[in-house]
Structure 1
C-alpha cells in the first residue's frame, strides 16, 4: 500500500527516527480497517497479568485462550495487538505476519502493594516474536516513577536502534493523587507531555475528566481560560500537550462501560483530533459476535 497524505504527514513528525522505525510505524498505520487514515484502534490484553485471570476472562471464558485475542484483533480489522511476552509467545507462530504486534515490556499485578511494574520483556524478545513495537507503562507521581523512566530510557534507546516503535502507557498515580486526580485533565495532559518528552512515538493515556488536580495548574487553566468544558475540548488540549499533535496519541477504553457511553467517548476522541483508541476489557469481555460489532462501530467512527 502506498502512503496516504495522512500517514505521510504523521511520519514527518518523527524527524530523528531511522527507516526501520518508520517502516514499523507504517505497518501500524497501514493495517486493518483504518489503514491509511492516520487512525489506530489497538487490542491490549495485559489485564490477566494486571488484574488476574477470573477478573479478566470469566465474563467471556473464550478469553482464557491467547489465540482468541489474536483472532479477535485480526477479524475486527484492528491495527495491532498488544500483550505481555507469554501471551504473544502462545500465538506468535500461528498468527505470524497477520497483524502487527506490540510487546508489553513491563507489568504489575493486583497482589503487589507498590505502585511499580516489573520489566518482563526485552527488545530481543520483541524482535524474536516479529513485533513492530514495544509497550511500556510509567506511573508519573509514583514513588517509583524515576526508576521507571530510567528503565524506559534504556529500552527505548535499544528499541529505536533496532527499528521498533515505542508505545508508552502514561498513567499518573501516587501519594499526591487521589482517584479523581488520576484522570483530572491537567494531570492527563501532564502525563501525555511527559511521555512525549521521554521519547514515545505513541502515547496512551486515559480519557480525562474536567477536574483540575494541581493548585498551581488550576490557576493557569483559569487565568488562560483553557477550554475543558467537554470531552472533545479536553482531548484537544491533550493533543496540544503531546507536542501540538506531533506525537500519535491514543486513549484507553477504561473499565467496562455500557456501549452508549463508550461510543460517546470514542466520538469525542475523534472530534478532539486524537489518533485513536486502545480497547481491551470493553471488547474481549463480551461474546465474540458482540465484540466484533462494537469494534466495527468504533472503527467506523474513526473513519469518519
Structure 2
C-alpha cells in the first residue's frame, strides 16, 4: 500500500504508536473514495441498540439486515463501517475483507434514562473480527463520566497493544450546565473533543457545534479573546484547534434525519473549517438505497473539495 504525502503527514502526528497501529490507521485513511486525501466518511449503525429496531429501520426495512449496511458502505466507497458486536459478526466473513471495520465497545439503550453505557464488546473480539479499531462513547459531564474515562483508558491501552486504533464518541451529557442546548454549545463541543484527545483517541467524534456558549467562565474567555464562532466553519476550525491544533482526526455526526440541502450545507461548512470528515448513519440507512448512495456520493465530493 503506497501512502500519499497527506496520509504520511497524518501518521507522523501519532509519534508513539506502533507500526501495527499506524498500519491500521493507514489502511483506514487509504480506503474508499476518500482514500489518500486525509478525509474520512464512516457509516455507523448502532442505532438499533441505542433507539430500538423499529425507530431505526422501519423507514427502510431492508436495513434490518446487517448485510445491508456492509454492502452500502462498500458500494458507496466509504472509509469504514462501525457497529456493535452482533452486527459485525453477521457479515465479518462475507464482507470484512472488503472494508475496514470498527467494533463499537459500548452502547446505551432507550429503555433506560441513565446517562451511561454498557460494555458490549472487547478488544479481543475486535481483533478476532479483523477490525482496524475500536469505538467507545464517553459522556463528559455525566455522573458516570469518570468511570467511563477510566475504562476507556484501559481499552485504549489494550487496543494499542493489539495494534488497533481507537475512535472516541465524545458526547457531553448531564451536569449543572448541560441542558439540551448546552450539549452542542461550541465551548462544550471543543471541551469534549479535547478530553477525547487527552485520553489517547486516534479519531474523535463530536456533534456539529452551535454558536451557543454554555459555561460562564468559558464564555468570558471567548468574549475577551474574541474567538470567532460566528459561522459553522469557524466553529469547526475551533474544534480542530482544540484537538491538539489539528494533530488528531475529528469527525462530526450527521445528526437526526434532515433534508438533503441542510445536510450538504452542514458538511460543506465543516469541510471549510478543516474537519476530517463525518460519521453519518440515520441520514443514510433510513433512505432508500439508491437515494442513500447518491447522497453519500455528494458528501464524498464535498470532502474531496
- State the TM bucket, normalised to the shorter chain: over 0.9
Partner of 2:196: 195
Partner of 2:135: 135
Residue 96 of structure 1 and its aligned partner are, at CA, apart by 2.5
Give the gaps of 5 or more residues in structure 1. Answer: none
Note the alpha carbon deviations across 1:159-185, whole angstroms, 9 max, x for none. Answer: 001100000000001032100000000
Partner of 1:111: 111
CA distance in 2, matches of 1:45, 1:175: 28
State the superposition RMSD in angstroms.
0.5
Partner of 1:14: 14
CA distance in 1, matches of 2:272, 2:7: 18
Note the alpha carbon deviations across 1:196-237, whole angstroms, 9 max, x for none. Answer: 000000000000000000000000000000000000000000
CA distance in 2, matches of 1:150, 1:62: 38
Residue 80 of structure 1 and its aligned partner are, at CA, apart by 0.2
Partner of 2:64: 64
CA distance in 2, matches of 1:25, 1:269: 22
Partner of 1:31: 31
Aligned-partner SS, 2:167 = strand
Partner of 1:250: 251
Partner of 1:213: 214
CA distance in 2, matches of 1:243, 1:261: 29
Residue 253 of structure 1 and its aligned partner are, at CA, apart by 0.4
Residue 274 of structure 1 and its aligned partner are, at CA, apart by 1.1
CA distance in 2, matches of 1:257, 1:139: 24
Matches for 1:1-304 after TM superposition, within 5 Å: 1-176=1-176, 177-304=178-305
CA distance in 2, matches of 1:296, 1:96: 22
Q: TM-score, normalised by structure 2?
A: 0.99
Residue 70 of structure 1 and its aligned partner are, at CA, apart by 0.2
Residue 113 of structure 1 and its aligned partner are, at CA, apart by 1.9
CA distance in 1, matches of 2:112, 2:163: 34
CA distance in 2, matches of 1:166, 1:70: 20
Task: Tell me the matched-pair count.
Answer: 304
Residue 302 of structure 1 and its aligned partner are, at CA, apart by 0.6
Aligned-partner SS, 1:203 = strand
CA distance in 1, matches of 2:113, 2:50: 13
CA distance in 1, matches of 2:130, 2:118: 22
Aligned-partner SS, 2:94 = coil
Aligned-partner SS, 1:249 = strand
Aligned-partner SS, 2:115 = coil
CA distance in 1, matches of 2:254, 2:43: 10
CA distance in 2, matches of 1:2, 1:96: 21
Residue 71 of structure 1 and its aligned partner are, at CA, apart by 0.2
Structure 1: 4+ residue segments shifted above 6 A:
none
CA distance in 1, matches of 2:43, 2:101: 10
Residue 2 of structure 1 and its aligned partner are, at CA, apart by 1.0
Aligned-partner SS, 1:169 = strand
Note the alpha carbon deviations across 1:89-131, whole angstroms, 9 max, x for none. Answer: 0111111310000000000000112100001100110011000
Give the gaps of 5 or more residues in structure 2. Answer: none
Q: TM-score, normalised by structure 1?
A: 0.99
Residue 269 of structure 1 and its aligned partner are, at CA, apart by 1.1
Aligned-partner SS, 2:93 = coil
CA distance in 1, matches of 2:160, 2:219: 36
Aligned-partner SS, 1:93 = helix
